Amino acid sequence: MTSASPAQARWAVAASFLLMGLLIGAWVPHVPLAKERLDVGPGIFGLALLAFAGGAVLAMPAAGVLINRYGSARMITLTGLFFCVAFLAPVLAPTLLTFSLGGALMGMAIGSMDVAMNAHGIAVEKAMKRPIMSMLHGAYSLGAMVGAFLGGALLQVLGELQQATIMAALCLAILLVAARFFLPGSVDKGLSGSHFAWPTKATIGLGLLCYLALMIEGSIIDWSAILLRESFAVEAGVAALGFAVYQGGMAIARFSGDWIRLRAGAVRMVSVSALLTAIGTSLALLAPTPLTSILAFFIAGISIGNVAPVLFAGGGRLEPTAPGRGIAAVSTLGYTGFLSGPPLIGFVAQVTNLTAALFLTVVAALIIAIFARAVKAADTY
């Protein structure tokens, strides 16, 4: 690791967000194939997806401890390596048990790396004295869009194992380059004598909103391709386009989000964004053709894009002496939503249908809009 400037570190941590997006995007076209390979209904498949949530939620509080001990820079490198390897586990799993175990490993990698990246993003934001969190999450969304397009194309041409291997190798190369330009570990190592990262009174309100925001995102990741495939009988690669354009919309929103936050404020931005999310998602679910549904997912992606970055920023600022712990506390609840939302959708779909179940994300967006004032902490520097 070199002695990087804040500007260099900004692009290095953005590359880490891009890496995570690439792998999650590449996972999306595997989801309907995994459901078909395991030959289970939506309720059982939703239960299997709960393993991803369990792994992430277990890893996140521990990530806050390790960031405080070793610094977020080192943790990004270690958890990124773990993610590149763990990505292969659910892709290759032949049975429900091995899929669940592989999903737990992948969830642990996602959860711990996400906390480390956001903690380092807060450190860079403080060093630069201006907001960058939306841009960082925009890099994730851009990666997820590219990962879904590229992953879907490679899957069609080469097959599951080859696609997964190529995507993991590409992301490993990105990580090894980015790791040379993080800020030194001392910027956020050992800031607090109190380590463990369960939600506190100060962070639980933001954490609950983060639960809802990431429940929406996680549900679209795991069920949008299945919705399009089952509703319109499209190929797996085409079914992944709904998620791909959703992430493209999120990327557009996030690359402009820091500018909007400076001028409109966090509360107004989150309330308006959540309301538009409810409208766009409703249109996607009720669309009569695959093209109109895909376009509506794009609108919903633009709308939801800036909600989670503001919530993470608020979590880091609520605990200024231990930002890694604050982010871990908010994201522990948030990623419970990200990874437990899809199983919840599966259970509801089992007794109703998938379209009706996904309307739970519309309700979640409306709740965020009502309680948006809780994000006011994100505007403090």
Which tokens sit at 114?
């996400």
Which residues form the domain of 101?
Answer: 6-182+200-379
Q: What is the rounded CA–CA span in Å between residue 199 and residue 230?
A: 39
Q: What is the rounded CA–CA span in Å between residue 75 and residue 65?
A: 11
Q: What is the rounded CA–CA span in Å between residue 129 and residue 167?
A: 35
The CATH number of residue 339's host domain is 1.20.1250.20
Note if the pTM is more than 0.85: no
In this structure, are residues 136 and 13 in contact, taking their beta carbons and an 8 Å threshold?
yes
Tell me whether residue 217 is in a domain: yes
Tell me whether residue 257 is in a domain: yes
Q: Domain count of the chain?
A: 1
CA 105 to chain centre: 16
Tell me whether residue 123 is in a domain: yes
CA 185 to chain centre: 24
Q: From start to end of the chain, where are the E strands? A: none
Residue 4's H or E segment, with its range, is: none
Tell me whether residue 194 is in a domain: no
Counting every residue written for the chain, the total comes to 381
pLDDT of 194 reads 47
Tell me whether residue 189 is in a domain: no
pLDDT of 170 reads 96
pLDDT of 100 reads 94
Tell me whether residue 31 is in a domain: yes
Tell me whether residue 311 is in a domain: yes
pLDDT of 319 reads 62
pLDDT of 199 reads 54
pLDDT of 228 reads 86
pLDDT of 200 reads 62
In this structure, are residues 342 and 24 in contact, taking their beta carbons and an 8 Å threshold?
no
Tell me whether residue 299 is in a domain: yes
Q: What is the rounded CA–CA span in Å between residue 207 and residue 337?
A: 10
What is the DSSP-derived secondary structure letter of residue 352?
S
pLDDT of 192 reads 47
Report mean pLDDT in 10-residue bins for the chain, 381 residues.
Answer: 78 95 91 88 83 84 83 93 95 92 94 90 85 86 88 89 94 95 79 51 81 90 81 74 84 87 86 94 92 91 89 69 64 77 86 92 95 76 53
